[in-house]
Amino acid sequence: MRLIVTNIATLVCDCQRKQRLQGEEMARLDTIDDAYLLVEDGKVAAFGKMEELPAEGVNADEEVDARGCMVLPSWCDPHTHIVYAGSREGEFVDKIRGLSYAEIARRGGGILNSADLLHTLSEDELLEQSMVRVREVMAKGTGCVEIKSGYGLNTADELKMLRVVRRIKESVPMHVSATFLGAHAVGRNYTKPQYIELLINEMIPEVGREQLAEYIDVFCDEGFFTPDETARILEAGAKWGMKPKIHADELAASGGVKVAIDHGALSVDHLERITDAEIEMLRQSATIPTGLPGTSFFLNMPYAPLRKMIDAGCGVAIASDYNPGSTPSGDMKFAVSLACIKMRLLPAEAINAATLNAACAMGQSHNHGSIAVGKQANFYITARPIPSVDFIPYAYTTPIVGKAYIGGFRVE
């Protein structure tokens, strides 16, 4: 199957072929004006100037005329909790009235509320509710996503969540990575030591045996799990080949960055309260700092200092954190706008953070995150001609996606 997209005003493509962009490299976006893009069997086969196309054509099965619109790589979203039950707008109102996210959690709401709701749903019902959001993000231009468990908080419900993730994986063209986040909070009816034993001796082995997760996450933060507890949980996951991706420094400087790096984490996420010493540690490591600007926006919290991290030479990613409590949105374009407006990233830096570096934060940048020959053909054609790439974060509520393609197939 060959698909050709012609008359692209500007194609944002990848000529550098790096797995991850660091520091100053993040401000570079390669573009070709008046371009075509050729897709073969779901992968990018070629791209270039329209004038380089052979006069006799390329014998494509389908031709799409971009009519002067722009083509960009699909978003990659390396941190979501998209599988969840119901919603938590009651807490949204509580927060407006003055309660903080941490206070709501201390009163037994928050994550535990979502766990109670999830417990009442069958696997099929949970899948149905989650698929609404999965379809929504694909239509908004996301082509690769990570999904965490963590609203089960007992063995049966954690497995239920991860089986739903597996069914999503099997039913959509988008790449889905699964992360076991049993250590999201202490489940009701357990003491913390009991819950950690359950995680290590029961949940992780069951998830491992069923091969339900590639990654393991811990909410390493004040009021949740300590660095020592995190280390024990990560070591148990490592025995089953689960690589860490960590929540850290959201509510306090938690020590999570060091434990993440020490355990070879792919990414460490949130980082709203990161210290300068931790930035230096990250600069020297392969662990990717991942900012979640939508979370700071929704919770009215400080934003992670991604500008400072890039200036220090780090390569950063951004993600939506789509979840019912702290970020009920999977809109990556809005996350990119927030990264520009609130974190002072240049549009090119924010787009790279939400595409190539985001793919890298889920171990997928060999195959995703940019329009490069041989990679999955995940891209979108803008809804109308736009003056420049910078227009995308600038027009922060204007829908950008006209036609989205994943693996060369049109997302309806």
**Four-point Cα dihedral 100, 106, 107, 110, nearest 10:** 70
**Distance in angstroms (rounded) separating the CA atoms of residues 329 and 292:** 11
Is position 158 an interface residue for Fe ion (rule: CB under 5 A)?
no
- Interface with ligand NIG, residue 323, by CB under 6 A: yes
Question: Closest distance between ligand NIG and the C-beta of residue 233, in Å?
Answer: 15
Residues in 111-170 at the binding interface with ligand NIG, rule: CB under 6 A: 111, 114
Q: Min. distance of Cβ 128 from Fe ion in angstroms?
A: 23
325 binds ligand NIG (CB under 6 A): yes
Footprint of ligand NIG on 74-93 (CB under 6 A): 81
Report which residue type is found at 397: T
- CB of 79 vs Fe ion, minimal distance in Å: 6
Binding ligand NIG by CB under 6 A: which of 110, 237, 244, 369? 110
Write down the least CB distance from residue 327 to ligand NIG, Å. 6
State the Cα–Cα distance between residues 228 and 6, nearest whole angstrom: 55
β-pair type (70-73, 379-382):
antiparallel
- By beta-carbon proximity to ligand NIG, the closer residue of 323 and 376 is 323
Using rule CB under 6 A, residue 295 touches ligand NIG = yes
Residue 325 binds what, of Fe ion, ligand NIG, none (CB under 5 to 8 Å, by partner type)? ligand NIG
Residue 247 is a binding residue for ligand NIG (CB under 6 A): yes
| Residue 377 Cα to chain centre, angstroms | 18
Residue closest to ligand NIG when measured from CB atoms: 325
- Of 158, 195, 161, 157, nearest in space to 176 by CA: 161
321 part of the interface to Fe ion, by CB under 5 A: yes
> Does position 267 bind ligand NIG by CB under 6 A?
no
Show the site string, 279-318: x = touches Fe ion by CB under 5 A, - = not. ----------------------------------------
The pairing of strands 2-13 and 30-40 is antiparallel
Contact 399, 334 (CB under 8 A): no
Pairwise CA distance, residues 229 & 289, whole Å: 21
Q: Between residues 37 and 361, which has the closer beta carbon with respect to ligand NIG?
A: 361
Map residue 60 onto helix, strand or coil. coil
Closer to ligand NIG by Cβ: residue 296 or 364: 296
Closer residue to Fe ion, CB minimum distance, 291 or 363: 291
- Least distance to ligand NIG, CB of residue 246, Å: 11
DSSP letter string over 118-146? HHTS-HHHHHHHHHHHHHHHHHTTEEEEE
CA dist list (Å): 126 to 140, 162, 238, 325: 22, 11, 28, 17
Please state the closest distance from residue 184 (CB atom) to ligand NIG, in A. 6
With contacts defined by CB under 6 A, name the span among 122-130, 167-175, 225-233, 319-327 that binds ligand NIG: 319-327
Residue whose CB is less far from ligand NIG, 184 or 368:
184
Q: How far apart are CA 108 and CA 286, in angstroms?
A: 36
Sign of CA dihedral 321, 327, 330, 336: negative
Residue with tokens 């003491």: 191
Residue 254 touching ligand NIG (CB under 6 A): no
Closest to ligand NIG by CB, 143 vs 324, is: 324
Give the span between the Cα atoms of 142 and 50, in whole angstroms. 27
In eight-state DSSP terms, residue 294 is H
By CB under 6 A, residue 321 contacts ligand NIG: yes
Stretch that binds ligand NIG, among 169-177, 206-214, 318-326, 343-351 (CB under 6 A): 318-326
Binding of residue 289 to ligand NIG (CB under 6 A): no
Evaluate whether 38 touches 47 at the Cβ level (below 8 Å).
Answer: yes
Tell me the C-alpha to C-alpha distance, in Å, between residue 107 and each of 158, 199, 200, 223, 324.
23, 23, 26, 12, 17
295 binds, among Fe ion, ligand NIG, none (CB under 5 to 8 A by kind): ligand NIG
Binding site for ligand NIG (CB under 6 A): 81, 110-111, 114, 219, 247, 250, 295, 321, 323-326
Binding site for Fe ion (CB under 5 A): 321
